[in-house]
Chain A
Amino acid sequence: MRKPDIFKVPIGPQHPALKEPESFSVALAGEKIMGVDIRLGYNHRGIEKACEERTYIQDIYLIERICGICSHTHATCFVQAVEEIAGLEVPKRALYLRTLIGELERVHSHLLWLGVAGHEIGFDTLLMYTWRDREIVMDILAALTGNRVNYGMNTLGGVRRDITPEQAREVLKAIDKLEEQTKYYIELALGEATLAARLSGVGMLSREDCVKLGAVGPTARASGVDRDVRRDDPYAAYAEISFNVITDNHNDVFGRTVVRLKELMESYGIVRQLLKNLPDGPIAIKAPRKIPAGEAVSRYEAPRGEDVHYVKANGTEKPERVKVRAPTLANIQAVKKMLENRYLADMPIVIAAIDPCFSCTDRMINVRDAESKNNRLMEWETLRRQGIEHYRRLGIDFSKVKIRGHS
């Protein structure tokens, strides 16, 4: 029997439907993935360097734009580090409001993810339902901050906007509605046979591999890794809030779905506690323009996992160094492991399950001879000609067929 040819298929970096360009070079034997080579950095905008050339206040807004989904995550992680260096005693009310926006952001992010996951497995009804419900939390975020994303809530020493009792009541009403809907999704995820069949055993990542590869967030918790910096290294108001860290032992995309859904329920509980116990008092204290020399490491449990910021101050109004480790960078290395020996058709949902999102092949195939290691590029026209020749040899003639858009 002839050994199967290994095809190397480039996927990315450009994709019409994605927010994140990444390039995957997938070695395939038939449908089976033999290896994946990942090239990152297409979105590198030099933000760390730019931070060194701007003031701390300017940096908050720049850093908030690292990510379009967890914008509050990065801004909070950064201001926490600077406040620690400056020794600022942030008012309790500010910490509660920061946490409130953080949890609402998690709700919108997890609902967004659930929709993307539904879409990737051809369950577009789920996409429509979850994104409809996500609008409830987006409206709340817009009402509280003036924006759907990039909330501009944080400043050094506190937050920039207070919340009124009427707004708090609106939030609670929205949370009730969202909780009701989420219960339905949990029922659906745990009970719907097709969903379980499509997601179970896909993108397996054992607990050992997960720990070795440094995966974080729901990806890690779905492999039984009981870690959450909200509990382990509490920041903002989390030390005063009770909640469960959700873990699961399915180790697959199904487990990651269950973890995120149950985390939504925990977030609703956190929001209720925050609003019930919201302390009175100021929402910010005055911060100095110049930050004394020092350094700090700050952590934040983003919807996608642990976010780490390191800030070094040199006594001026601009930081000496800002270093950011976003959760996807920690998770992307686990993706290689999840895809090994799996099928190409699972790739979109496996990649989406760490919560960036993905799926597209270029109309170009780089054919790599497994023995000689030679590469040759076959473009659309060549592939089409080869296909026609192949069928002609079998006695079928496609050469008369006209394809729209291709002569």
Chain B
Amino acid sequence: MEEDVKQSLIKQFNLPEETIRIPRPRRIFLEISREKFKEVFDFSVKELKFAILLTITGLDEQERFGVIYHLARETGAILNIKTSIPRDNPTLKTITPDFSNADIYERELMDLFGIKVEGLPPGNRYPLSDHWPNDQYPLRKDWKQEGVTFEQPREKQDVSEKSGGDQNA
């Protein structure tokens, strides 16, 4: 069954054999260029029926960012489609028209890797706090905690001023 998926992907998109790995039953890993991503993704979802989005993983690979879309079939197989984008222009197109639940996973890529996702409808950031600086992306490998300053939440300052000496009261 995994082999059928592999063969139909190879046939449809003329892919070299080594771009698709089947390490064990029900697991398929596919690597695809950014240019071909959209058509391979659409084909996998609509024709091959990998219609469940499990999550999206971001990876820091130095010059590029890797992005893995984990798709699943009702019957248990998982197709992991990996693409990559250059670090100096990290933009992706949103997949929310196909998967409305991708919203939160794409926001994770934005907050933690600084990847820009085009076409995402407006909404709250996730998962970092509103006080987190805008140019700090903690899951990048070169990110260091030292020297990062945070704007203190206003409520917190108020509490410390008011409570003063009788914190144990």
**From residue 270 to 327 of chain A, which have CB atoms closer than 8 A to chain B?**
294-297, 299, 306, 308, 310, 312, 320-321, 323, 325
Verify B126–A49 contact, CB threshold 8 A. no
Residue A266, interface by CB 8 Å: no
**Quick check: is B57 within 8 A (CB to CB) of the other chain?**
yes
Q: A46-B138, A49-B139 are in contact. Are A323 and B57 (CB under 8 A)?
A: yes
B29 x A41 contact (CB < 8 A): no
B57 and A49 form a contact (CB under 8 A): no
Residues of A near B126 (CB, < 8 A) are 40-41
Specify which chain A residues have a CB less than 8 angstroms from the CB of B78 in the assembled complex: 233, 297, 299
User: Is A187 engaged at the interface, CB distance under 8 Å to the other chain?
Assistant: no
- Known contacts being A40-B127, A308-B54, A310-B57, is A297 close to B76, with CB within 8 Å? no
Give, as a whole number of angstroms, the nearest-CB distance from A33 to chain B: 18
Measured CB to CB, the closest approach of chain B to A25, in angstroms, equals 9
Measured CA separation A44–B128 after assembly (Å): 7
Number of interface residues of A (CB under 8 A): 35
Q: Is residue B149 within 8 Å, beta carbon to beta carbon, of the partner chain?
A: no
Q: Tell me which residues across on chain A come within 8 A of B36, comparing CB atoms.
A: none
Q: Is the CB of A333 within 8 A of B100?
A: yes
Interface membership of B70, Cβ < 8 A = yes
Chain A residue at smallest Cβ distance from B129 = A41
Q: Is the interface of A mostly helix, strand, loop or mixed?
A: mixed
Which of B29, B75, B76, B104 interacts with A329 by CB under 8 Å?
B104
Within 8 A of A (CB), among B126-153: 126-129, 138-139
**A321 engages B101 (CB within 8 Å):** no
Contact across chains for B76 and A232 when beta carbons are under 8 A apart: yes
CA distance A39 to B127 in the complex (A): 9
In the complex, the chain A residue whose C-beta lies closest to that of B75 is A232
In the assembled complex, the CB of B162 is this many whole angstroms from the nearest CB of chain A, namely 15
Bound complex: CA of A46 vs CA of B129, how far in Å? Answer: 12
- Docked-complex contact A213 and B54, CB < 8 angstroms: no
A42 to B130, CA, bound (A): 10
Could you tell me the distance in whole angstroms from the C-beta of B169 to the nearest C-beta in chain A?
A: 15
Distance (whole angstroms) from the CB of A90 to the closest CB of chain B: 14
Query: A214–B101 contact, CB under 8 A?
Result: yes
Q: How far is the CB of A211 from chain B (nearest CB, A)?
A: 8
Whether B70 pairs with A297 at a CB distance below 8 angstroms is yes
Task: State how many angstroms separate the Cβ of B8 from the closest Cβ of chain A.
Answer: 21
Q: Tell me the bound Cα distance from A212 to B99 in angstroms.
A: 7
Instruction: Please tell me if A229 contacts chain B, counting CB pairs below 8 Å.
Output: yes
**Known contacts A44-B127, A44-B128; is-contact A308 B29 (Cβ 8 Å):** no
B54's closest neighbor in chain A, by CB?
Answer: A308
Scan residues 1-51 of chain A and give those whose CB is less than 8 A from a CB of chain B.
Answer: 37-42, 44, 46, 48-49
The answer to whether A227 has its CB under 8 Å from any CB of chain B is yes
User: Which of A84, A213, A312 is B101 in contact with, Cβ under 8 Å?
Assistant: A213
User: Of the 9-residue stretches B9-17, B20-28, B85-93, which lies at the interface with chain A?
Assistant: B20-28
Whether, in the assembled complex, B103 has its beta carbon less than 8 Å from a beta carbon of chain A, the answer is yes
Taken together as a complex, chains A and B put the C-alpha atoms of A310 and B80 apart, in Å, by 10
Residues on the A chain within 8 Å of B127, using CB? 40-41, 44
CB-based contact A321/B23 at 8 Å: no
**Bound Cα distance from A40 to B76, whole angstroms:** 29
A360 at the interface (CB under 8 A from B): no
Q: In the complex, how many angstroms separate the beta carbon of B11 from the nearest chain A beta carbon?
A: 25
Which chain A positions have C-beta within 8 A of B68? 310
A241 at the interface (CB under 8 A from B): no
A330 at the B interface (CB under 8 A): yes
Give A306's nearest chain B residue, CB to CB: B54
List chain A positions with a Cβ less than 8 A from chain B. Answer: 37-42, 44, 46, 48-49, 84, 212-214, 227, 229, 232-233, 294-297, 299, 306, 308, 310, 312, 320-321, 323, 325, 329-330, 332-333
A sample of 25 inter-chain contacts (CB < 8 A) reads: A38-B124, A40-B127, A41-B125, A41-B128, A41-B129, A49-B138, A84-B24, A213-B101, A232-B74, A232-B75, A294-B23, A296-B23, A299-B78, A306-B54, A310-B55, A310-B68, A310-B70, A312-B59, A320-B59, A321-B57, A323-B57, A323-B58, A325-B54, A333-B103, A333-B104
Known: A41-B125, A213-B101, A233-B72. 14 other contacts (CB 8 A): A39-B124, A40-B124, A41-B129, A46-B138, A49-B139, A84-B23, A214-B52, A214-B101, A295-B29, A306-B54, A308-B55, A310-B70, A321-B60, A323-B58
Query: Which 5 residue pairs spanning A and B have beta carbons closest together?
Result: A41-B127, A214-B101, A232-B76, A325-B55, A233-B76
